[in-house]
């Protein structure tokens, strides 16, 4: 999903955009070119076509599929670049490899899943790490998932509930009322964060169309995907914000707020 809407780019600014100076052939800025709101909007929003009710929005995320080609899962060049660029350390590669091997055995259907998850969790508690991210869901198939309305506001401090409690709110697709709880969100459980903002709509980067939420979601400040558990693309640098249901969060009581 694109975060174009999250940053307010699809809403027209209240004042006209500032004029830019256009360089002449000799390099001097000799001519004023007015960049208007209409020009900006026409570049990021394409009017709805025949049979369409909504316009199509354009940003880097929606256009990346036209400027790139898919990378094969076995192509190690992506990881060579991660290391040579300094984005990933050798210790992170080792940890990722160990998790992949552990997950392969745990999810192989050999009857060792439960003890493997238990050993993993015990070790992670010792090193203050994250619990095993893949576990049986909690809500039976065909049963509506629960919801909660906290009416959280920007700047409020919240605590993400334990993974075991969040699982009780998910269906067989690891979703709560259509919103997925991704394994990449597990490392943030049982920790405190500030509410960044509420979300009511986003852009689907596959189609460029607006998606309006029936139930608001929440973004937490400085919480973004780190691609720790992805199968085909580890260490993804996009740093996408996860979307949180309020039932996965709880307010931090005032008497527990951290003070300087």
Tell me, what's the pLDDT at 73? 79
Q: Kindly report, residue by residue over 215-229, the tens digit of the pLDDT.
A: 899 999 999 998 999
Yes or no: say if 190 and 150 are a contact pair by the CB < 8 Å rule.
Answer: no
Q: If DSSP states are collapsed to H, E and C, what string results for the chain?
A: CECCCCCCCCCCCCCCCCCEEEECCCCCEEEEECCCHHHHHHHHEECCCCCCCCCEECCHHHHHHHHCCCCCCCCCHHHHHHHHCCCCCHHHHHHHHHHHHHHHHHCCCCCCHHHHHHHHHHHHHHCCCCCCCCCCCCCCCCCCCCCCCCCCCCCCEEEECCHHHHHCCCCCCCEECCEECCHHHHHHCCCEEEEEEEEEEEEECCCCEEEEEEEEEEEECCCCCCCCCCCCCCCCCCCCCCCECHHHEEECCHHHCCCC
Share of the chain above pLDDT 90, in %: 53
CA angle 136, 250, 219 (to 5 degrees): 85
Cα 244 to Cα 181: distance, rounded to the nearest angstrom: 8
Task: Identify which of 8-12, 223-227, 247-251 has the greatest average pLDDT.
Answer: 247-251
Tell me, what's the pLDDT at 33? 56
Whether the per-residue pLDDT at 211 is higher than 80: the answer is yes
Q: Which range has the worst mean pLDDT, 13-22, 26-35, 105-114, 202-211?
A: 13-22
Tell me, what's the pLDDT at 69? 87
The number of beta carbons lying within 10 Å of the beta carbon of residue 187 is: 20
Share of the chain above pLDDT 70, in %: 85
| Mean pLDDT of all residues in 101-118 | 93
Whether the per-residue pLDDT at 182 is higher than 50: the answer is yes
Task: Identify which of 13-17, 20-24, 145-149 has the greatest average pLDDT.
Answer: 145-149
| Mean pLDDT of all residues in 78-90 | 91
The number of beta carbons lying within 10 Å of the beta carbon of residue 160 is: 22
Two tokens at 221?
Answer: 């400040």
Tell me, what's the pLDDT at 11? 35
Tell me, what's the pLDDT at 224? 93
Q: What is the mean pLDDT of the chain?
A: 84
What is the band of 19 on the pLDDT scale with cuts at 50, 70, 90?
Answer: very low
Two tokens at 68?
Answer: 């790139």
What is the band of 7 on the pLDDT scale with cuts at 50, 70, 90?
Answer: very low
The domain spans of the chain are 20-66, 70-129
Tell me, what's the pLDDT at 163? 95
Tell me, what's the pLDDT at 13? 36
Please tell me the pTM assigned to this model. Answer: 0.78
Whether the per-residue pLDDT at 3 is higher than 90: the answer is no
Q: Kindly report, residue by residue over 22-77, the tens digit of the pLDDT.
A: 444 454 544 555 678 777 777 788 888 888 888 999 988 888 888 888 888 788 88
Whether the per-residue pLDDT at 1 is higher than 60: the answer is no
């Amino acid at each position: 999903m694109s975060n174009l809407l999250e940053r307010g780019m699809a809403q027209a600014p209240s004042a006209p955009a500032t004029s830019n100076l256009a360089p002449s052939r000799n390099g001097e800025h000799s001519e004023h070119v007015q960049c208007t709101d209409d020009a900006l909007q026409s570049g990021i929003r394409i009017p709805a076509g025949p049979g369409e009710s909504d316009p199509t929005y354009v940003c880097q995320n929606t256009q990346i599929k036209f400027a790139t080609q898919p990378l094969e899962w076995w192509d190690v060049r992506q990881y060579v670049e991660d290391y040579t660029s300094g984005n990933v350390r050798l210790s992170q590669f080792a940890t990722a490899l160990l998790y992949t091997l552990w997950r392969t055995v745990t999810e192989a259907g050999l009857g060792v899943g439960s003890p493997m998850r238990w050993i993993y969790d015990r070790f992670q508690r010792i090193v203050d790490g994250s619990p095993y991210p893949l576990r049986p869901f909690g809500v039976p198939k065909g049963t509506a998932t629960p919801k909660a309305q906290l009416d959280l506001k920007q700047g409020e401090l919240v605590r993400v509930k334990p993974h075991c409690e969040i699982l009780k709110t998910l269906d067989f697709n690891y979703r709560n009322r259509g919103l997925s709880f991704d394994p990449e969100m597990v490392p943030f459980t049982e920790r405190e964060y500030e509410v960044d903002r509420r979300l009511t709509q986003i852009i689907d980067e596959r189609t460029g169309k607006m998606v309006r939420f029936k139930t608001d979601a929440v973004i937490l400040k400085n919480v973004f995907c780190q691609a720790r558990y992805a199968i085909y693309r580890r260490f993804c640098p996009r740093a996408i914000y996860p979307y949180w249901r309020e039932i996965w969060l709880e307010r931090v009581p005032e008497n527990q707020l951290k003070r300087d």
